[in-house]
Amino acid sequence: MSILAYRYSLFINYRVFFKNSRIKMNHLKCTLLVFSTVLLTACGKNENIVGKWMQAVPGLPELKQGFVLEADGKASSVNMATLSYKAWQQEGAFLILSGKSVGNHQVLPFSDTLHIEKLTQDSLILKKGELILRYAKEDTISQKKLNENIPASLIAPAKKTLSVKGKLIIGAEVRSFIPEGSDEAYWVIDKTGKLYQQYDKITKGVKNGIPVYAELQVEDMGKSNEGFAANYKSVYHIHKINKLHK
């Protein structure tokens, strides 16, 4: 082979090598980009993990334990006798908790690295080896204070009451109200604490089943399938007595 042919062969080989290298680099970049996107999707932003995370104690569902992660990197344990968290940090898909371990009359520094399997606004799943830990987010003190400052009407809408007029009958097994112009009877439940006393006073008896005229403020609770109320169209909660007479 001539020197010229040899050099041309080297030139071709170098071009093929660099071309393949660029393809591999582009493939690597794409792989890293996809991995980063998946990682961010799985873990969410750092601020999502800030808050109070609790789980039920196995065998004692009424008792909860967990930890609080604050925005400034501080951490604290909740109902944990042997672990006292002091700080936390998130590195990619890993949550690192550090603090002190208490036991056998000793206090030792420790650090736990947990893999974040899933993170949403109200749930957190962590994995350490074969151990899976599931947490639910709870209100922190600051969030509770914020909720306390919100008007109750925005948190729980005011009850919708109706003004009704009609015939009221109260007996041993009867709590009936029939609106004017209707044949339908409603089971009534007194929420004022005064209805039965006023009814007995007007009828001069004790729940003797005598019809009386009533003007009431009620809340329609819908159809009931329980007890005597199941035989009525719906259930009225009585919140105010406007008029009551024979």
Strands 83-91 vs 94-103: parallel, antiparallel or unpaired: antiparallel
In 3-state terms, what secondary structure has residue 220? strand
Provide the pLDDT for residue 228. Answer: 85
Label the pairing between strands 94-103 and 106-119.
antiparallel
For residue 96, give the amino acid letter.
I
Q: pLDDT at residue 6 above 70?
A: no
Question: Which pLDDT value is given to residue 40?
Answer: 42
Q: Per-residue pLDDT tens for 88-143?
A: 999 989 999 999 987 666 788 989 999 999 999 889 999 998 889 999 998 754 44
Question: What is the DSSP code (8-state) at residue 35?
Answer: H
Integer Cα distance of 125 and 101 in angstroms: 23
Q: Residue 45: what pLDDT?
A: 43
Q: pLDDT at position 157, please?
A: 53
Got the DSSP string for 125-180? EEEETTEEEEEEEE--HHHHHHHHTS-HHHHSPPP--EEEEEEEEE-SS-EEEEET
Specify the DSSP element, H or E, that contains 116: strand 106-119
Q: In what order do the strands lie in the sheet with 75-78?
A: 75-78, 60-69, 51-57, 131-138, 123-128, 106-119, 94-103, 83-91
pLDDT in the model for residue 110 = 86
Q: What average pLDDT does the structure give for the chain?
A: 79
Contact assessment for residue 188 and residue 227, using Cβ atoms and an 8 Å cutoff: no
Instruction: Please enumerate in sequence order all residues whose Cβ is within 8 A of that of 143, keeping only pairs 6 or more positions apart, or say none.
Output: none
Report CA torsion sign: 234, 235, 240, 244.
Answer: positive
Q: Is the pLDDT of residue 79 over 90?
A: no
Tokens of 143: 């969030």
pTM for this entry: 0.42
- Mean pLDDT of the 203-220 span: 93
**Are the C-beta atoms of 86 and 73 separated by less than 8 Å?**
no
- In CATH terms, 162-245 corresponds, of 2.40.50, 1.10.3470, 2.30.230, 3.30.70, to 2.40.50
Identify the CATH assignment for 47-143 out of 3.30.465.10, 3.30.930.10, 2.40.128.280, 1.20.120.530.
Answer: 2.40.128.280
Listed by start position, the domains of the chain span 47-143, 162-245
Tell me the three state secondary structure of residue 80. Answer: coil
Per-residue burial over 210-246, b if 16 or more Cβ lie within 10 Å, else e, is eebebbbbbbeeeebeeeebeebbebbbbeebeebee
